[in-house]
Structure 1
Amino acid sequence: MSDAMIKCAKVSFKYVKDTEGVKQEKYAIKDVDLEVKKGEFLVVLGHNGSGKSTIAKHMNALVVPSEGTVIVDGLDTSKMENVWEIRSRAGMVFQNPDNQLVATIVEEDVAFGPENLGIEPLEIRKRVDESLEKVGMSKYKRHAPHLLSGGQKQRIAIAGILAIQPECIIFDEPTAMLDPSGRREVLKTINELNKVHGITIVLITHYMDEAAQADRIVVMDGGSVKMEGTPREIFPQVERMKKIGLDVPQVTELAYELKKAGIDINEKILNVDEMVNELCQLK
């Protein structure tokens, strides 16, 4: 048994761009090697156009590679007969929760996925309750989704995926359209799904504070993987990140600037508590 949940080997994806009648092939991603381990919380970082959303879509067979292979839990995404099985093992949550909510009552919305899979009604009932419980939305089950806040809607969308009982969930910038409190709610939910329930998480984001919570980070730029490592390995490389057009967490940048100014401080700082600790130790 492999411990890889998702394995991308030499994956390229090209599309035809039509510029004033002139057709040319363009690569969205090129030669990407990427492995997601079972139970891992992996963040894929990159600015717009870096290929991060394209790689996310490969992970649940929304698109298939032009070249290379994507294997999800042992299943090849390019084989048509595997598609439904892949999507029940690797669920996907998108940027805009409004696009994912289909029913007029929360619990019906969460039941939609398992109903489509032909799960029996009693089991669906159980899954709906468990999924809403996991995202902290049980008391809203009889509510209308469109009356909820952005963060609550996104948690309902996550519950809908959980009801399919996937082993892995891919989040494609799930907090991009949310306010700070909605972002916090959703990130707390994602963290719990990973740490408490053991679900493999792939989070596509451009928020550095979200990335700092991951087990591992992959940085994409221009359609390929440029950096890979733990948050403590990636973020202290401030110059390199800025060259790619990405920020690092503010406290990491502060530590970098202090170090540059000749203050003896640990650069591998990811949050405010660690910074306070370091500053207190300065003589």
Structure 2
Amino acid sequence: MDYIVEIENVSHGYSKDREQLVLDDLSLKVRRGEFLVVLGHNGSGKSTLAKLINGILVPREGSIKVNGMDTADENTIWEIRQTAGMVFQNPDNQLVATVVEEDVAFGPENQGIESSEIRRRVDESLKSVDMYEYRKNAPHMLSGGQKQRVAIAGVIAMKPDCIILDEPTAMLDPSGRREVIDIVKKLNREEGKTIIHITHYMDEAIDADRIVVMESGKIAMEGTPIEVFGDVEKIRGLGLDVPQVTELAFELVKAGLDIDPKVLRIEELVDRI
């Protein structure tokens, strides 16, 4: 099996007290080309995990390898960040220029890429997130969803094999959320990018290859979307919801309807009924 991210027995915390570990002896492998969704409520360790994979933080114990490179090795940290690009929650924190295309060019310029290649990458990246027509616009004039798509384009322009998204839709309205998720799915399916998508929106996870649910720095559940969300009571016990359609099917079964409650989409529920 070809893994792009290998996390082995990682523990991490922000104080010396082992009772306050944010991640506790966590191991996880991510396959190349996989669409992995990481769920968990606030404080479960999701964002810390993202920063560790990207090399922003170094684990206190254990190891993390990205494309075979150890994140604790300072000599490979820039190569690691080019392999695993990061998209943060607030797009304003990632937008640095006054024109969209200049913002997308910022990363490749810092990589020392020649100008003709930068031009090609900027155009390709903006087209891949459906923002090419806005290339001359000012980022601050865009909607939240458009800003986040520009931030994603800036990461794509650096040609990463893996894109880590740390709650990229948390500050967006439903329309903006939909825009960003559609782009993420497209990057995974059409361009083969490995996606590690960290979110607390259950509906964003239904198209994942695999879901990992975190609780108190450990993996509490793991499996396909239907396996994870099919266990409604366990998910609820972790303080999380399930997708609305799954919830409806669960309640219909409780009310006496004889159907298989393990559904993720409205079309599936209609077929069962």
TM-score tier (shorter)? over 0.9
Give the equivalent residue in structure 1 for 2:49. 55
Give ranges in structure 1 of 5+ residues lacking alignment.
18-22
Aligned residue among 209, 217, 226 for 2:211: 217
> Does structure 1 residue 96 correspond to structure 2 residue 86?
no
Listed one character per residue, the Cα deviations across residues 173-217 of structure 1 (whole Å, up to 9, x for unaligned) are: 000000010000000000000001100000000001001111100
Give the equivalent residue in structure 2 for 1:123. 117
Measured in 2, the distance between the counterparts of 1:206 and 1:89 equals 25
Listed one character per residue, the Cα deviations across residues 252-277 of structure 1 (whole Å, up to 9, x for unaligned) are: 11111222233211122001111111
Give the equivalent residue in structure 2 for 1:20. none
Listed one character per residue, the Cα deviations across residues 94-135 of structure 1 (whole Å, up to 9, x for unaligned) are: 000001000000000000000001111110000000000100
> Does structure 1 residue 42 correspond to structure 2 residue 36?
yes
TM-score, normalization by structure 2:
0.98
Give the secondary-structure state (helix, strand or coil) at the position aligned to 2:62: strand
Give the secondary-structure state (helix, strand or coil) at the position aligned to 1:227: strand
Measured in 2, the distance between the counterparts of 1:250 and 1:123 equals 45
Equivalent residue runs for 1:1-283 within 5 Å: 3-16=2-15, 26-279=20-273
Amino acid paired to 2:161: E
Measured in 2, the distance between the counterparts of 1:36 and 1:246 equals 23
Return structure 1 stretches of 4+ with deviation > 3 angstroms. Answer: none
- Assess if the C-alpha contact under 8 Å between 1:93 and 1:157 holds in 2: yes
Instruction: Give the root-mean-square deviation of aligned CA atoms.
Output: 1.1
Listed one character per residue, the Cα deviations across residues 209-247 of structure 1 (whole Å, up to 9, x for unaligned) are: 001111100000011100000000000111101110000
TM-score, normalization by structure 1:
0.94
Measured in 2, the distance between the counterparts of 1:39 and 1:58 equals 20
Measured in 1, the distance between the counterparts of 2:155 and 2:124 equals 12
- Assess if the C-alpha contact under 8 Å between 1:168 and 1:201 holds in 2: yes
Amino acid paired to 1:130: E
Give the secondary-structure state (helix, strand or coil) at the position aligned to 2:33: coil
Change (3 A) 1:24 1:265: closer
Give ranges in structure 2 of 5+ residues lacking alignment.
none
Give the secondary-structure state (helix, strand or coil) at the position aligned to 1:12: strand
Give the secondary-structure state (helix, strand or coil) at the position aligned to 1:63: coil
Measured in 2, the distance between the counterparts of 1:9 and 1:257 equals 39
Measured in 2, the distance between the counterparts of 1:44 and 1:220 equals 7
- Assess if the C-alpha contact under 8 Å between 1:45 and 1:219 holds in 2: yes
Aligned residues: 273
Measured in 2, the distance between the counterparts of 1:145 and 1:128 equals 15
- Identity of matched residues, %: 62
Measured in 2, the distance between the counterparts of 1:39 and 1:261 equals 41
